[in-house]
Amino acid sequence: MTDTRVDVLVWGALNPSLMANLEQHYRIHNRAEITDVASWGREHGYKISAVVTSGVLGTEIEVLERLPNLKVVCSFGVGYDAIDVAYLGDRGIALSNTPDVLNNAVAETAMALMLCLTRRISEAERFVRAGQWPTGKFPLGRQLTAKTCGIVGLGKIGKTIARRAAAFDMNIAYYRRGQAYPGVDYTHYDDLKALARAADYLVVIVPGGADTQHLIDASVLQALGAEGYLVNVARGSVVDEQALVAALQAGQIAGAALDVFENEPHVPQALMTMDNVVLAPHIGSGTQETRQAMADLVFANLRQFFEDGTLITPVQ
């Protein structure tokens, strides 16, 4: 019997349930197993109609060039800065991502990082584990109540973070170039440094890519000031990591909580040694519920595309 399943190139290790669905319904090729791209491309490239990847894994033009019949790329994750959108557009290749289903998880991570940072939770746990409690008191932290949460990027996730921060009785402000969002009551700043000066906590949740490369630079950190904290749940590229290390070492800001890094999974050693820095391994959407919803949406996008040529969540 002839195998009529669509050939799909999977870019790397993805959610197990997604992989199980893909393997059941499609003929799978694994990018990680391709050692000779040119040879593989000559033998198999013409078969591939779809690519499944993630916002972290992205794609490689060298491989895509060898897929003449590629029609769609379905990405696991909301961010797609690791994917060359312009290239796909030039070739007429459709692209989908997984927005909305991870809003709550990322917002929870942002709040967890803020609480961990300001109440010094990680530092306090190290204090207890080291047996220091019987011989001394742990230093005081700070509370979120009545502080200003400045959000850089008030998109869907940003708005979700804002609602949770407001529940902690924080004042909410946000940065957006140009005009304020209509119907949004939070304080608007069209000057990023002005927002940083006003904020006690500067929470970064903008997309990655060239437009936001090092958006949080030395001047923004200086404006945030010695009493201000930085929280990054966006992309590592958005923060100038060297400038951040310098600002922390000089005491220009009070501390930082980081879920993403410029060269992850590699983290600057200088950050490892600072008690006023909270580090997490890119766990923003890392809940079982969210990852399952993301996996289901990737599969649903792929299935719908080959049924009627449309995507549930297309990247425009």
Full-model pTM: 0.92
- Just list the catalytic residues: 235, 264, 282
The count of C-alpha atoms lying within 13 angstroms of the C-alpha of 223, restricted to the half-sphere facing its C-beta, is 16
pLDDT at 3: 56
Rounded Cα gap, residues 241 and 258, in angstroms: 11
Question: pLDDT at residue 30 above 90?
Answer: yes
CA dihedral 253, 259, 78, 63 (to 10 degrees): 110
Average pLDDT over residues 165-184: 96
Domains and CATH numbers, the chain: 7-101+289-308 (3.40.50.720), 103-279 (3.40.50.720)
Confidence class for position 5, pLDDT limits 50, 70, 90:
confident
Contacts of 239 (CB under 8 A, 6+ apart): 204, 214, 215, 216, 230, 232, 258, 262
- Residue 4 has a pLDDT of 65
Share of the chain above pLDDT 70, in %: 99
Q: Do the beta carbons of residue 210 and residue 84 sit within 8 Å?
A: no
pLDDT at 39: 96
Q: What is the pLDDT of residues 48-62, one digit of tens each?
A: 999 999 988 999 999
Band (pLDDT 50/70/90 cuts) for residue 265 is very high
Q: How far apart are CA 29 and CA 102, in angstroms?
A: 27
C-alpha pair distances (Å), 219 with each of 29, 121, 187, 244, 252: 47, 29, 21, 10, 11
201-237 tens-digit pLDDT? 999 999 999 999 999 999 999 999 999 999 999 999 9
d(CA 282, CA 265): 9
Q: Give the pLDDT of residue 171.
A: 98
Mean pLDDT of 141-153: 98
Confidence of residue 285 (pLDDT cuts 50, 70, 90): very high
What is the maximum span of the chain, computed from C-alpha positions, in angstroms?
Answer: 75
What are 61's two structure tokens? 């033009």
User: How many CB atoms within 10 Å of residue 246?
Assistant: 14
Neighbours of 313 (CB within 10 A): 18
Full DSSP string of 150-172:
EEE--SHHHHHHHHHHHHTT-EE
The average pLDDT across 188-202 equals 98
Helical (H) or strand (E) element with 40: helix 37-44
Cβ density class 265-275: b for 16+ within 10 Å, e for less: eebeeebeeee
Q: What is the mean pLDDT of the chain?
A: 96
Where residue 1 falls among pLDDT bands split at 50, 70, 90?
Answer: very low
